[in-house]
Chains A and B, each alone.
Chain A
């Protein structure tokens, strides 16, 4: 079955960097776009970024463009989110999700929690 498992979250200080990973299995990885979405506990969903199935196209939310970079390794079936210059407001649960152009996110991981604290 389709599995998406995020990892790499933790407690970090403001201004530091961190890379999240999302390990995928159970589907043809290189034929799906992949997204990162975050959620502050008790709040709504915030879409962050998408990378196309071939890794060529990337789009970012305004809130993270220039600080976060999405990438993928189709040989290892892993999605990444490189996060630089982290801020207190980046504290959230980070989900990866699978999508196709225009279609909903049909599978999600369970999320990895990032806390930015001094």
Chain B
């Protein structure tokens, strides 16, 4: 089955740029979605289809997907960005949705 690999944790100071990666075999051929999940809340889509930004999501959030790694980039990090971030793809080989293990972003 298809596996997505995320680092368990990433940290950044306010104003810095945070990059969260999501690794998978030829992930560039798949459409990657990213979710933000704050403590005690349901996940919210922050990036869809590799780099699309849903309405209401700040421009500071961007996404890219190349080779075997998709990346969520958060520019000018703010305290409110502290959350868990999850990547997701559809695996047509197994007809499964697949989530990465999640990355905790700590704002220093």
Q: Quick one: which of B77-108 are within 8 Å of A by CB?
A: 86, 88, 90, 95-102
**Who on chain A is nearest to B44 by CB?**
A108
Q: Which residues does B use to contact A, with CB under 8 Å?
A: 1, 31, 33, 35, 37, 41-45, 48-49, 54, 86, 88, 90, 95-102
Asked if A27 lies at the interface with its beta carbon under 8 angstroms from chain B, I say no
- For chain A, the count of residues having a C-beta within 8 Å of the partner chain is 21
**Who on chain B is nearest to A107 by CB?**
B42
Assembly CA distance A95 to B41 (angstroms):
11
Q: Give the residue of A37, A43, A46, A104 whose beta carbon is less than 8 angstroms from that of B33.
A: A104
Q: What A residues does B31 contact at CB under 8 A?
A: 102
Is the pair B102, A105 in contact by a Cβ cutoff of 8 Å? no
Assembly CA distance A111 to B40 (angstroms):
10
Assembly CA distance A43 to B49 (angstroms):
24
Q: What A residues does B88 contact at CB under 8 A?
A: 45, 47, 104-105
Q: Bits for A28-69, please: 1 = Cβ < 8 Å to B, else 0.
A: 000000010100000111110010000000010110000000
Assembly CA distance A109 to B101 (angstroms):
20
> Could you name 27 residue pairs across A and B whose Cβ atoms are closer than 8 Å?
A35-B97, A43-B102, A44-B86, A44-B99, A44-B100, A44-B101, A44-B102, A45-B35, A45-B86, A45-B99, A45-B102, A59-B96, A61-B96, A62-B1, A62-B96, A95-B42, A95-B43, A102-B31, A104-B33, A104-B49, A104-B88, A105-B33, A105-B35, A105-B43, A105-B45, A105-B88, A106-B54
Asked if A103 lies at the interface with its beta carbon under 8 angstroms from chain B, I say yes
**Min CB gap B80→A, angstroms:** 19
**Who on chain A is nearest to B99 by CB?**
A45
Assembly CA distance A59 to B86 (angstroms):
21
Q: Apart from A44-B101, A59-B96, A104-B48, what 14 extra A-B contacts exist at CB < 8 Å?
A: A45-B35, A46-B99, A47-B99, A62-B1, A62-B96, A95-B42, A95-B43, A102-B90, A103-B33, A103-B49, A104-B49, A104-B88, A105-B88, A108-B44
**Min CB gap B42→A, angstroms:** 4
